[in-house]
């Protein structure tokens, strides 16, 4: 039976040192179209200069590419390793020109930097230095992605592609409620478990204070990418502790491989000085496509009530 399918064009941007990763993204888009895209009624065409451009000597090569493929794309993915690429008339490289052209037109660009070891015989110091300068500039302007190998990049991009297309669909479709019903079925939800434990933390002056330990573990066979740990309240608001109560490190996006776990420590006063214990529901963490994972509400409320009661009786 015929059905409406919305198609989006994603430009693949990179210098020439990441061919294996480009192939990995190509296979990821094919897989996404067959599984996730089919469920959403959407399709992504991965646009590459080697397949989507035609010979043209009417202008400089990058100007030709801009006209033929860049301007017609809806979003882009850019990957870098140790090369920045060849400078153009106005930019440090063709890749940077394409990124800036799309950003200037209000389109989203997912930018990833590879962290694997660089072959010493291939390293060009000038290229690498220019790349680091650009990376530092991008970090001041937005959030960058990092990947360790091709499989790691594919896992991340699969999630991020779903989020980007979801946002585009929500703008382009009039029946948003129908789209939202489809969203949860696009990818199986990983088995990520959130537990809350009580503990004692030794303070600088030798005093022991109660602490809430939020433990998050990935029990699924796939890698997940998680955001901030927060406290869910009855009115649907979340309390956000910006730093770990013991290490003082700021919260950050985390990559959690199968079987891995992390702990985040929260001072009970962060909660009890702002809301009543009865208003607290659970600890919660979200992944890159906004699926949420929650602790057992009884765990958190029971711990907080016990802490409050001990302080009253102290």
Give me the mean pLDDT over the 61-79 stretch: 91
- Domain identity same for 308 and 178: no
Percentage with pLDDT > 70 across the chain: 93
200 lies in the same domain as 177: no
Do 72 and 173 fall into the same domain? yes
Same domain, 150 and 248: no
Q: Which domain holds residue 246?
A: 192-313
Express each pLDDT in 95-124 by its tens digit.
999 999 999 999 999 999 999 998 888 788
Question: What percent of the chain stands above pLDDT 90?
Answer: 45
Instruction: Using the 3D structure, point to which of 185, 203, 222 is the last residue of a domain.
Output: 185
Say how far apart CA 177 and CA 43 lie, in whole Å: 20
The mean pLDDT of the chain is 87
In a domain, 177, yes or no: yes
Q: What is the pLDDT of residue 172?
A: 82
Query: What is the spatial distance between Cα 81 and Cα 15, in angstroms, rounded to a whole number?
Result: 9
Q: Are residues 165 and 248 in the same domain?
A: no
Task: Return d(Cα 261, Cα 54) in angstroms, integer.
Answer: 49
Per-residue pLDDT tens over the stretch 31-42: 999 988 888 889
Are residues 39 and 140 part of one domain?
yes
Domain-embedded: residue 1? no
Q: How confident is the model at residue 181, as a pLDDT? A: 45
Give yes or no for residue 190 having a pLDDT over 80: yes
| CB neighbours of residue 266 within 10 Å | 23
Does residue 184 surpass a pLDDT of 60?
Answer: no
206 with 268, same domain: the answer is yes
Q: Are residues 168 and 39 in the same domain?
A: yes
Residues 213 and 168 in one domain: no
Top pLDDT among 1 and 158 is at: 158
User: What is the gyration radius of the CA atoms in the chain, in angstroms?
Assistant: 23
Up-side HSE of residue 248: CA atoms within 13 Å toward CB?
1
Out of 132, 156, 185, pick the residue that ends a domain.
Answer: 185
pLDDT band of residue 94 (cuts 50, 70, 90) is very high
Q: What is the pTM of this model?
A: 0.64
Contact of 222 with 288, CB cutoff 8 Å? no
Overall average pLDDT of the 234-243 stretch: 89
CATH number at residue 203: 2.60.40
197 and 180 share one domain: no
Q: Is the pLDDT of residue 168 over 60?
A: yes
How confident is the model over 173-177, as a mean pLDDT? 53
When pLDDT is averaged across residues 306-314 and rounded to a whole number, the result is 82
User: Residues 292, 146: one domain?
Assistant: no
Structurally, the chain folds into a number of domains equal to: 2
Domain edge (last residue) among 185, 215, 247: 185
């Amino acid at each position: 039976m015929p059905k409406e399918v919305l198609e989006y064009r994603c430009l693949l941007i990179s210098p020439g040192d990441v061919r294996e990763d480009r192939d990995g993204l190509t296979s990821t888009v094919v897989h996404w179209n067959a599984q996730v895209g089919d469920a959403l009624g959407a399709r992504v065409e991965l646009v590459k200069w080697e397949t989507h451009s035609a010979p043209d000597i009417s202008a400089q090569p990058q100007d030709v590419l801009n006209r033929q493929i860049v301007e017609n794309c809806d979003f882009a993915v850019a990957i870098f390793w140790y090369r920045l690429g060849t400078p153009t008339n106005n930019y440090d490289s063709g890749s940077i020109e394409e990124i800036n052209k799309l950003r200037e037109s209000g389109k989203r660009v997912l930018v990833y930097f590879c962290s694997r070891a660089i072959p010493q015989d291939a390293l060009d110091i000038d290229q690498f230095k220019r790349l680091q300068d650009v990376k530092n500039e991008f970090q001041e302007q937005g959030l960058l992605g990092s990947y360790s190998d091709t499989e790691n990049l594919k896992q991340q991009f699969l999630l991020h592609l779903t989020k980007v297309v979801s946002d585009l669909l929500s703008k382009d479709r009039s029946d948003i409620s129908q789209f939202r019903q489809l969203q949860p079925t696009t990818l199986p939800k990983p088995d990520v478990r959130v537990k809350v434990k009580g503990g004692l933390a030794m303070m600088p002056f030798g005093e022991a204070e109660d602490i809430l330990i939020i433990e998050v573990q990935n029990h699924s066979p796939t890698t997940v990418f998680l955001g901030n740990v927060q406290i869910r309240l009855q009115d649907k608001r979340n309390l956000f502790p910006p730093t770990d109560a013991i290490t003082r490190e700021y919260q950050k996006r985390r990559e959690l491989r199968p079987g891995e776990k992390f702990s985040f420590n929260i001072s009970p006063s962060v909660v009890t000085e702002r809301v009543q214990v009865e208003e607290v529901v659970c600890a919660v963490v979200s992944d890159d496509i906004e699926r949420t994972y929650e602790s057992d509400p009884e765990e958190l409320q029971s711990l907080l009530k016990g802490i409050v009661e001990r302080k009253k009786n102290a």
